[in-house]
Structure 1
Amino acid sequence: MRMSITGISSMATRNVLDALAAIFEAQSGQRVAIESVGGVAAFKRVEDGEAFDIIVLASEAIDRLAASGYVDATSRVRIARSGIAIAVKSGAPHPFIADEAAVREAVLAARSIGYSTGPSGVYLTRLFERWGVAERIAARIVQAPPGVAVGTLIARGEVELGFQQLSEMIGLEGIDVLGMLPSDIQTLTVFEGAIGVNAAAPQEARAFLEFLDSSDTDATKIKHGMQPVK
């Protein structure tokens, strides 16, 4: 029996990796088992020496793991990129979000604002600081715990206006995705895959990464709220 390819990823790529792993398994007969957790937790587990064949995280995190020798830097593959979307609870009023000024006003008007501990949350924190509203809205900020989607908090009524990677909001029940951050304040996070230095199945992992990098996967990436990136 073939050895399974093991992997760890952040929640942002969970759905697309699950879908692509299923396609790869059907085509190759090679089983893939990827665990998706909060990005900070995934990074720490790799840093603590836990063995994985592939690691899929934001490129900045892969940079740090490569610099510290936890992944094979020569194996890095850019898998996809994702922008930040905005959502409210299903049936709630839809604020105007067509431009930067409108988003700022929507944030100031919201009773609660949610974002994650991942790259999108870091970006939103800096954006609110640049707008000069960080202190003003501090008491209304709800940061989703690692591994918990902001959309889940929106659906529960714990967050009125939420921001997160589109890939983590698509398909969630109980929320209305209003759209993406306007282009002048949008940021795109690139997600990469790399082979762990203590991989048990490096050759199989490399084949899976090559598949993830192929144009055959583009439609699946788009379906799950991500954009192909070369």
Structure 2
Amino acid sequence: MDVQHIEGDAITGISSMATRHVLTALAGAYERQSGQRVRIESTGGVDAARRVLAGEPFDFVVLASQALEGLAAAGRIDPGSQIGIARSRMAIAVKAGEPLPETGTETALREALLSARSIGYSTGPSGSHLLRLFERWGVAERVAPRIVQAPPGVPVGTLVARGEVALGVQQLSELIDLPGIDVTDALPPEIEATTLFSAALCAPCRRHEATRALLAFLASPEAGPAKLLHGMEPA
């Protein structure tokens, strides 16, 4: 496509931190392929949803599907435009060089968490799932003094790399590219939580056709290798 015939105005989007790396890679690939500029801001998922709810003028948003449901109910996105982008599993991080815990079974994971000096978790879906696990195991009060929630927009792995927490639990996609940590495989199947991240047009979208074309690319098989590289799976 001839870049000279593309409007100079960029398509703008906002996303949670979980999809930051893969969206950066895919936006760059789309720009090279189409000539259309794409600008995506990544922040904490709670903050991203709040800003879309407030009507900030983004063309599209990428968040966990449950968060998009709330935005659709509020009339801040076009629910008919919603499309699955990628799935992300959870993982556990330790500081680089430290022994990785045994997490192959629910029992092993439970013991690893209960014996950890401290545990970092996020404000997003992975953090909510971890807290539900603690409730299910009947240990919520026992671990309460040792759990640390990362501030919105700060990867849990950053706290691990700094030595502020011993174990970090978050989406694999948010841990895999961080320096200073080592990462386990996914959690045991019986307690795994996979989050679907989807995209949708925001109510203030100015360029519906161009934005829909971008979202179609993000969901296409062509985008699959980048998702796998950054710890996610095609939706």
TM-score category of the 2 structures, normalised to the smaller one: over 0.9
Partner of 2:165: 159
Secondary structure at the counterpart of residue 20 of structure 1: helix
Partner of 1:117: 123
Q: Say if 2:14 is the partner of 1:14.
A: no
| Residue ranges of structure 1 left out of the alignment (5+ in a row) | none
Of 218, 225, 230 in structure 2, the residue corresponding to residue 212 of structure 1 is 218
Secondary structure at the counterpart of residue 183 of structure 1: coil
Q: CA deviation at 1:169?
A: 0.6
| Residue ranges of structure 2 left out of the alignment (5+ in a row) | 1-6
Q: Say if 2:181 is the partner of 1:175.
A: yes
Contact (CA 8 Å) 2:100, 2:183: kept in 1 or not?
no
Partner of 2:155: 149
1:143-177, Cα deviation, whole Å (9 max, x unpaired): 00000000000000001011000000112111010
Secondary structure at the counterpart of residue 134 of structure 2: helix
Aligned-residue CA RMSD (Å): 0.7
Partner of 2:94: 88
Contact (CA 8 Å) 1:77, 1:213: kept in 2 or not?
yes
Partner of 2:71: 65
Q: CA deviation at 1:2?
A: 2.7
1:73-112, Cα deviation, whole Å (9 max, x unpaired): 1111100010100110011122211100000000110000
Q: Distance in 1 between matches of 2:47 and 2:16?
A: 8
Percent identity over paired residues? 60
Q: Distance in 2 between matches of 1:213 and 1:180?
A: 23
Contact (CA 8 Å) 1:3, 1:201: kept in 2 or not?
no
Q: Distance in 2 between matches of 1:125 and 1:68?
A: 27
Q: CA deviation at 1:215?
A: 0.5
Q: Distance in 1 between matches of 2:220 and 2:60?
A: 17
The count of corresponding residues between Structure 1 and Structure 2 is 229
Letter in 1 for 2:94: V
Secondary structure at the counterpart of residue 184 of structure 1: coil
TM-score, normalised via structure 2 length: 0.96
